[in-house]
Amino acid sequence: MKFLWYKNISLSISKATFSTASNGYPNKLEPVVVYLDIEQNKYQIVRENKNKSGIYRWTNSISGKSYIGSSIDLGRRFSTYLSTHFLRTCKRGSIVYKALLKYGYSNFKFEILEYCDTTIILEREQYYIDTYLPEYNILTIAGAPSGYKHTKEAIEKMIARHLNRKNSEESKRKMSQAKGLKGIVTVTNLESGEIVEYCSLREAAQKLGTHHETLRRCIKSEKVFLEKYIITIISA
């Protein structure tokens, strides 16, 4: 394993070592990246994984328990973990959220298990859940809400929605620049996992049935709008 120190970030990067199964996917795979100093370097971790899709794992260095998840934007997903207000108030009551609050970021490591295409992300997440049996995962079905298993058709629709969002990202950035805006407004639905982008706070507020100043205050205070939506602005 090769250790690197880059801009005061302590992390380890290992080459993937695996045997290939009949379906073409790895049977065993070491983490691509291991982040150790989360508290000090959390914002750079967000930047390094921005717009990258894949599977991640949180591991408690004290208890050894872990959580496995996936995201079409690992940087954006990790940023939600950085809000202690969100961790405290999220209605889903995730076990890993409670563990992060109890033990603190300094007692966890954050790993990227695999970078992969969005079309196979749920399948790959399921592979890792089945392989490592993470203790913090309440659900055993990747991408499913409590007590529910997505149908194949539902998964295909989710993937299509994510791909459409990704393909339209560049055109929306150009629209934002043309209008002289500071960035793209993203609205993340914590219940469905859906992420929608808008060219302005006014447009986002109109879709959510509220005033744009209300969303502006949520951004500044890092509050979750209606305990359901995370509002952020991404620089264009």
Is 159 a member of any domain?
no
Q: Please report the pLDDT score of residue 64 as a whole number.
A: 94
184 with 144, same domain?
Answer: no
Is 157 a member of any domain?
no
191 with 225, same domain?
Answer: yes
Is 18 a member of any domain?
yes
Q: Please report the pLDDT score of residue 142 as a whole number.
A: 65
d(C-alpha 79, C-alpha 85), whole Å:
12
Q: Tell me the pLDDT of the chain (236 aa) as tens digits.
A: 333 333 333 343 333 333 344 344 444 568 999 998 888 888 789 889 998 999 999 999 999 999 999 999 999 889 889 888 888 887 666 889 999 999 999 999 999 999 999 889 888 998 998 888 999 987 766 655 444 444 555 555 555 555 565 555 555 555 544 444 456 788 887 766 677 778 888 888 888 888 888 888 888 877 888 878 888 886 54
94 with 204, same domain?
Answer: no
Number of domains in the chain: 2
Is 15 a member of any domain?
yes
29 with 124, same domain?
Answer: yes
HEC profile of the chain: CEEEEECCEEEEECCCCCCECCCCCECCCCCCEEECCHHHHHHHHHHHCCCCCEEEEEEECCCCCEEEEEECCHHHHHHHHCCHHHHHHCCCCCHHHHHHHHHCHHHEEEEEEEECCHHHHHHHHHHHHHHHCCCCCCCCCCCCCCCCCCCHHHHHHHHHHHHHHHHCHHHHHHHHHHCCCCEEEEEEECCCCCEEEECCHHHHHHHHCCCHHHHHHHHHHCCCECCCEEEEEEEC
Q: What is the pTM of this model?
A: 0.55
Q: Please report the pLDDT score of residue 196 as a whole number.
A: 78
In 3D, which of 178, 169, 165, 190 has the Cα closest to residue 234? Answer: 169
Which residue range is the domain that position 127 belongs to?
A: 2-151
72 with 106, same domain?
Answer: yes
- Are the CB atoms for 27 and 19 separated by under 8 Å? yes
How long, in residues, is the chain?
236
Is 9 a member of any domain?
yes
- Are the CB atoms for 90 and 224 separated by under 8 Å? yes
d(C-alpha 162, C-alpha 196), whole Å:
9
Is 118 a member of any domain?
yes
Q: Please report the pLDDT score of residue 184 as a whole number.
A: 77
- Are the CB atoms for 137 and 68 separated by under 8 Å? yes
Task: Convert the pLDDT of each residue in 194-209 to its tens digit.
Answer: 777 788 888 888 888 8
Q: Output the domain CATH number for residue 12.
A: 3.40.1440.10
Q: Please report the pLDDT score of residue 165 as a whole number.
A: 53
